[in-house]
Amino acid sequence: MDLQALKNRFSIIGNTPAINHALNTAEQVASTDLTVLIVGESGVGKEVFSQIIHSLSARKHNPFIAVNCGAIPEGTIDSELFGHEKGSFTGAVDSRKGYFETVSGGTIFLDEIGELPLGTQARLLRVLETGEFIRVGSSKVQKSDVRVVAATNRELLEFTQKGKFREDLYYRLNTVPIRVPSLRDRKEDIPLLFRKFVVDFAEKYKTKPIFLDEEARNLLIEYPWPGNVRELKNIAEQISVLSKVEHINAEVLAGFLPIQTLNNVPMLTGNTPVGEFANEREILYKLFFDMKKDVNELKKMFLEILQNPTLSGTTHSNFNKESLINELKEELKPVVNPSHHTSPNNPTVHLSSAQPILLDNELNGHYEVEESLNIMDKEKELILKALKKHRGRRKDASTDLGISERTLYRKIKEYDIEE
């Protein structure tokens, strides 16, 4: 099929080399039964590529099902994929077919494959290698003729090195890799996609399509789009519905983009995956602000003790008290980043003052008072508080934390939190 015809058929906008290469690869591999691994950040449209592969294959008249592996609880995912027998576990009141049985002859799309438990990975590997599977609670081997297309927004090879993903399964899945580029890697496609979305929404909501001036267009292109095409579509819908003017300038557009929030994001380290950080940005804000507040409270307490020795019951003579008092006062002053305006709704994160304070005690020598700055500890603490506040309701807790329910579920597993 001609590349442009393929784009028209599946409503794909863009002409960058990276997206064209991904489409060509999908078209070429579709006629085979090879396993395909689609790699890309969240929101780039990985599922569309799985549909292209199925629609152009010999299995196109047979079933296609998309399964989000990260959204299925670990205790039930084996049953969902491979089925179970009656009485095999509590609640199994009847036998049930799994996806590999019901979709036999078709294609199964396993999204977020990196979230699969190791036990399920072993079962999946057997299906890929032999076409055989066993229902939960059964000893009967069954056959399945299913083509597997998998997708991930993680670097699975790194997961294999950490023992979180089976290396043999990774190479079995990665027979043909397709890497879908992020939106910031195909900037010239952003105006085209945005225009397509606003025209569609104008037709949907019976309004006139909006237009961007040159400055707004440049702002749209330079925005990093951590949510990729999904985020761009959401912004286009917001503007189409909420904007009171048809011609959008940069100032109006900026009101719909969380630019100020992104400016306050702390610098990423070399070991931080960009996609993961973007997905969990909101919870990190809370962590940093809580740490800043806790450290400042600690310093205020010690400043008060130093200025009023009777509060501590001891005197401090082996250090320059005046110097330490002045230093603490200086550090407790509001920190202003010259590159940003601060306000109650836009605090500037400054962690350089989060250092332990050493006091020389006459009775027992040196004591070190240090606030724990471990991000994982703080993150777990916030999750526990949110779950307790909402009485275990994950959806409400995830909304309060500012993360997706799937991310919250993964964090609960990662920290082994008992609900």
Q: What's the rounded mean pLDDT across residues 16-26?
A: 94
pLDDT tens digits for range 179-212 = 999 999 999 999 999 999 999 999 999 999 999 9
Q: 227 and 188: one domain?
A: yes
Query: Could you tell me if 233 and 87 lie in one domain?
Result: no
Give the pLDDT confidence score for residue 347 in this predicted structure: 44
pLDDT of amino acid 286: 58
pLDDT, tens only, 366-385: 444 445 556 777 788 888 88
CATH classification of the domain holding 142: 3.40.50.300
Q: Is residue 345 part of a domain?
A: no
Q: Do 28 and 154 sit in the same domain of this protein?
A: yes
Residue 343 falls inside a structural domain:
no
168 and 188 housed in the same domain: no
102/57 Cα distance (integer angstroms): 19
Out of 234, 263, 292, a domain closes at: 263
Per-residue CA distances from 37 to 49, 50, 115, 261 (Å): 10, 9, 14, 34
Give residue 196's pLDDT: 94
Comparing 130 with 371, which gets the higher pLDDT? 130
> Does some domain include residue 347?
no
- Of 181, 215, 248, the position where a domain reaches its end is 181
- Looking at the 3D structure of the chain, how many domains does it have? 4
The yes-or-no verdict on residue 279 having pLDDT over 80 is: no
Same domain for 290 and 150, yes or no, is: no
pLDDT (tens digit, 9 = 90+) per residue, 220-257? 999 999 999 999 999 999 999 998 889 999 999 998 98
Averaged pLDDT of the chain: 80
Chain centre to alpha carbon of residue 46: 15
Of the candidates 175, 176, 152, the residue with the CA atom closest to the CA atom of residue 164: 152
For 134-164, what is each residue's pLDDT tens digit? Answer: 999 999 999 999 999 999 999 999 999 999 9
Q: Find out whether 237 and 202 touch, Cβ atoms under 8 Å.
A: no
Residue 404's CATH number: 1.10.10
- Pick from 181, 205, 229: which residue ends a domain? 181
pLDDT at 322 over 80: no
Give yes or no: residues 76 and 192 share one domain: no
C-alpha 15/C-alpha 4 separation (Å) is 9
Tell me the Ramachandran region of residue 83: left when phi exceeds 0, alpha when psi lies from -120 to 50, beta otherwise.
Answer: left
Has residue 237 been placed in a domain? yes
pLDDT of residue 305: 66
In-domain check, residue 271: no
Is the same domain home to 69 and 145? yes
Q: What is the pLDDT of residues 88-121, one digit of tens each?
A: 888 888 899 999 999 999 999 999 999 999 999 9
Domain extent at residue 319: 281-338+352-369
Does one domain contain both 163 and 114? yes
| Per-residue confidence (pLDDT) for residue 232, from 0 to 100 | 95
Place of tokens 């006459």: 362
Which pLDDT does position 354 carry in this prediction? 40
Q: Tell me the mean pLDDT in the region 283-297.
A: 62
Whether 32 and 146 map to the same domain: the answer is yes
